[in-house]
Amino acid sequence: MLKYLSYKLLINNNDMYNILSLDGGGSWSLLQFLTLRERYGNSKGHEILGKYDLVIATSGGSLVLAALCCNWDIDKCLSLFYEKQNRTLVFSKNSFWEKYFPADFVGLFGAGPKYSVKKKYAGLKSLFSEIEAIPMEDLPDFIGKPSLKLVVTTFDALHNKAKFFKSYGKEGKPFDSVNLIQAISGSTNAPIGYFDFPARIKAQRSERNFYLWDGALGGFNNPVAAGLTEAIKLGVSKEEINIISLGTSNKITSQRERKYFYLLYINVIKYRKTKPGLGLKFFGKTVINQAKTILYEPPDWANYMTYIWRFDNNLGQALENKKRFIRLSPLLHRHSQDDNANELDHLINELYDLDMDLTNDDDIELLNQCFEKWKIGEIYNQPIRTNLDTKGDVLHDLGHKYFKEAMADWINMKI
């Protein structure tokens, strides 16, 4: 049954409207499960979702949402990334003969799309069979909280615009009814270097066909600002909103990367005609960096703009505000004054080199190490606003600097 926009709020234990926002990040979404386990132990998915009024997710975060909707306990959720056969159901490679030209040719050099959207969709149906036949609008009843609102972000490849799939609609307006598997197939569909084609799905009710890429392409790799917007559209007062935003790590350009870029830049200018190979490297580096801006700037932009909007630009109440908006995401950056510089440098450089599509056990173990260092404060938490000093060190003027501080405020929220 279609749930229309409701302006009547269900009062929670903390008398607030609670939003859970789940970033994209591919295999790095393992960090979100580990964070949820730290907060809720081995609770089941429906129990966790029942504590929130609106849950919004992108890409890897939508995989987390699906596992919770299936009512898996956290230990089973972790198997989604800990068990290699599960990882390869999502990241299922095409053979040379399954690729189209020129993807087959550039693939010989490690470039171009590697994975099959068709195989991924079959893998998602196998992984999340409990909810395969349930339309998104019926999931809140299945979860046991009819008032719950669910949102998954995607990108409409035909119209070049963001497309949200929701568990609710607006009376008298067309409604694109899909099941969560269809929405996830689109939301996790990173282009160019990852999946081969847009995810094609057909919505019920509206009978519309969609061709979808990853929700990050619309600027929603961190969907927290969209989550706040949806709540306000539902008639919720900003003063009644609590926000938990779970990320999948944020990268500040390392000293190694900054030095490499600077030297390459200087040498390309100096030898632009005599050493064309340098120009090719610089061009390739520039293209890759620009393609990945959807992962870098939008997460930071979304946090800060959400903060300003939620608290009406009242920066003077920073200590009180961070008890209402909690951002938890490891910051892959070493401060110049850290005592354990060599150990952290090695780990952070290894993490910095990892891509989103991790299928090897050694890479997953690096994510475990990342979480443990983050949890004990050796890797800092991402601030709400990222400013750098002249040494390239991050200034934590808004938000929580340490995981434990953020977790303590989350517990005090009684969510």
Distance, in Å, from the CA atom of 158 to the CA atom of 81, rounded to the nearest integer, reads: 32
Answer left, alpha or beta for residue 285, where phi above 0 means left and psi between -120 and 50 means alpha.
Answer: alpha
- The letter for the amino acid at 209 is N
Distance of CA 87 to the CA centre of its chain: 17
Q: In angstroms, rounded to a whole number, what is the distance separating the alpha carbons of residues 170 and 173?
A: 6
Measure CA of the first residue to CA of the last residue in the chain; give whole Å: 28
Decide: 86 and 80 in contact? Cβ < 8 Å: yes
Is 129 a known active-site residue? no
List the catalytic residue out of 21, 27, 29, 59.
59
CA distances from 232 to 5, 312, 344 (A): 11, 14, 41
User: Of the residues 214, 249, 357, 363, which is catalytic?
Assistant: 214
Q: In this structure, are residues 218 and 191 in contact, taking their beta carbons and an 8 Å threshold?
A: no
Residue 214 known to be catalytic: yes
H or E stretch covering 289:
helix 276-291
Q: What are the C-alpha distances in Å from 136 to residues 80, 143, 146, 183, 212?
A: 21, 11, 12, 9, 17
Structure tokens at 369: 């190490």
Closest CA relative to residue 230, chosen from 64, 48, 61, 19: 19
Catalytic positions, written as ranges = 59, 214
